[in-house]
Amino acid sequence: MTRRSTMMSVYGWLLFAPAAIFLIAFTYYPTLATLAKSFYSQGTALRPAEFVGLENFEYMLDDDVFWQVAWNNLIYAIGTIPVSIALAILMALWVNGKLPLKSLARMAYFTPTILPMIAVANIWLFFYTPDIGLIDQISRLFGFPSHNWLGDPSTVLGCIIVITIWKEAGFFMIFYLAALQSVSPELEEAAKLEGASRWYFFRRVLFHILMPTTLFVLINAVINSFKLVDQLFILTKGGPDNASSLLLYYIYEVAFSFLDQAYASTLTVVLLVVLALIAVGQFVFLDKRVHYQ
């Protein structure tokens, strides 16, 4: 190798170094360390940690709370992903066209995203309070009886889903808005000339043009369905009886309330594997259907 190309290699690695250091320190090393830790028992001052192989994973499969939490997370994902994406597309289409006070409408839709989740949760705690809360006060005007929204295991997960959709739909709307702005108006004009309805135009043309954005938003929504658990700390703490507990919240509980980092590592490994599978699946299957310009 010539001296010049060696120097170029060195430059290359130096430029790569900062990003590499961060990635290794905060992503790759913790992942491997967590995987390693999941094969050991939890050590205490009286009893140091020892290698136990797959025992933690067996314990996890036996754990009723883990299955409850996994099921909750599945419902949470199914509840939040399609609805928030659909809502985002709708909102984007609406504020994209000619609209008086367009900026105000866009800001109104985006405001939930700006608020921190903890603040949002504190507000919604009082929305959901039975009798004196906003939702019960409004429903009472229509003659419905008051309901213990957060205290009823059958409605609590739905309430959490509503808050998440409320929070992330505005965020996804921004991406769709940007994509819609770059669509050539000739397409819509041509469709109008041909006599196509707006729904037909959306279904056959616009939706496919928006596919790259949809793929991006879908990935974000999937990540959020595992990541957005902050509201649980304020609203339900996973209750009643784990009816609203989600995987990441359970991991936090195990790691920091029960101080059992070995089991928490086990759960984290499961979370990582699930996310990896979904990511791979998304890129493999959906990439074929995405038309890039």
Chain residues that interact with another protein, rule: CB under 8 A: 44-46, 65, 125-126, 129-132, 140, 145-146, 148, 150-153, 234, 236-237, 239-242, 253, 256-260
Residue 270's closest CA among 217, 239, 236, 226? 226
Of 121 and 165, nearer to another protein (C-beta) is: 121
Q: Give the nearest distance from C-beta 148 to another protein in angstroms.
A: 4
DSSP states of 150-196: TT-TTTHHHHHHHHHHHHHHHHHHHHHHHHHHTS-HHHHHHHHHHT-
Q: What's the rounded Cα separation, in Å, for the pair 84 and 80?
A: 6
Residue 217's closest CA among 225, 22, 19? 225
Q: Give the nearest distance from C-beta 133 to another protein in angstroms.
A: 8
Q: Give the nearest distance from C-beta 241 to another protein in angstroms.
A: 4
Rounded (10°) CA dihedral 200, 204, 205, 208: 140
Q: Give the nearest distance from C-beta 129 to another protein in angstroms.
A: 5
DSSP states of 212-243: HHHHHHHHHHHHHHHH--HHHHHHTTT-STTT
Of 154 and 181, nearer to another protein (C-beta) is: 154
Q: Give the nearest distance from C-beta 257 to another protein in angstroms.
A: 4
Of 42 and 224, nearer to another protein (C-beta) is: 42
Peptide bond preceding 30: is omega within 30 degrees of 0, i.e. cis? Answer: no
Of 216 and 233, nearer to another protein (C-beta) is: 233
Of 73 and 220, nearer to another protein (C-beta) is: 73
Q: What's the rounded Cα separation, in Å, for the pair 170 and 77?
A: 18
Of 131 and 189, nearer to another protein (C-beta) is: 131
Of 17 and 259, nearer to another protein (C-beta) is: 259
Q: Give the nearest distance from C-beta 291 to another protein in angstroms.
A: 48
- Cα angle 20-25-30, degrees, rounded to a multiple of 5: 130
Contact partners, residue 185, CB within 8 Å, separation at least 6: none
Residue 13 is given by DSSP the state H
Q: Give the nearest distance from C-beta 124 to another protein in angstroms.
A: 12
